[in-house]
Amino acid sequence: MIDPGEVRPGEHVGRVPIRVRYAETDAQAIVYHSNYLIYFEVGRTEWVKSTGISYRDLEARGHALVIAESHLRFLAPAHYDDHLVIETRLVELRTRSCTFAYRVLREGEDDRLVEGSTVLVSLGPGKTPVPIPEDLAEAMRTLAAL
């Protein structure tokens, strides 16, 4: 798993609030593990949108960023009706891929409930790997202070 490391000076850390819905929990009212990947997607989508280029814009141009790898580490449970914060950071930007790191916190607390990462690959109109569009890559590089 990617070590999220320290936040770099000037780096953008996306923070998205989530309220745990009943449908996201198991019989013990604990968030079901696969829902954290959805939470990561919410955080990542908002992080990318903060570059000024949304996923919708990217897809309209025939490009997509798709998950190639994901890692989750569960540290403590979240429960029904908890208020969570999903923190998202871009930790690596390569020509055809990028890696995001995530932390899930209970709102108002510093303790991590879940941490993880995803690696995304850039696909072009033919659904084959292509370089991340330069305008997006530059905006991501700037926002992440890479």
Task: Please determine, for residue 111, whether its predicted confidence score (pLDDT) is greater than 90.
Answer: no
Say which of 26, 82, 111, 135 is annotated catalytic: 26
User: Looking at domain 14-144, what is its CATH homologous superfamily?
Assistant: Hotdog Thioesterase (3.10.129.10)
Write down the pTM of the prediction. 0.93
| Domain ranges (residues) in the chain | 14-144
| Tokens standing for residue 14 | 């996306």
Those residues whose C-beta lies under 8 Å from the C-beta of residue 58, and which sit 6 or more positions away, are: 48, 64, 65, 133, 136
DSSP class per residue in 112-136: EEEEEEEEEEEE-TTSSB-PPPHHH
To the query of whether residue 82 is one of the catalytic residues in this protein, the response is no
Over residues 34-42, the mean pLDDT reads: 97
pLDDT at 118 over 60: yes
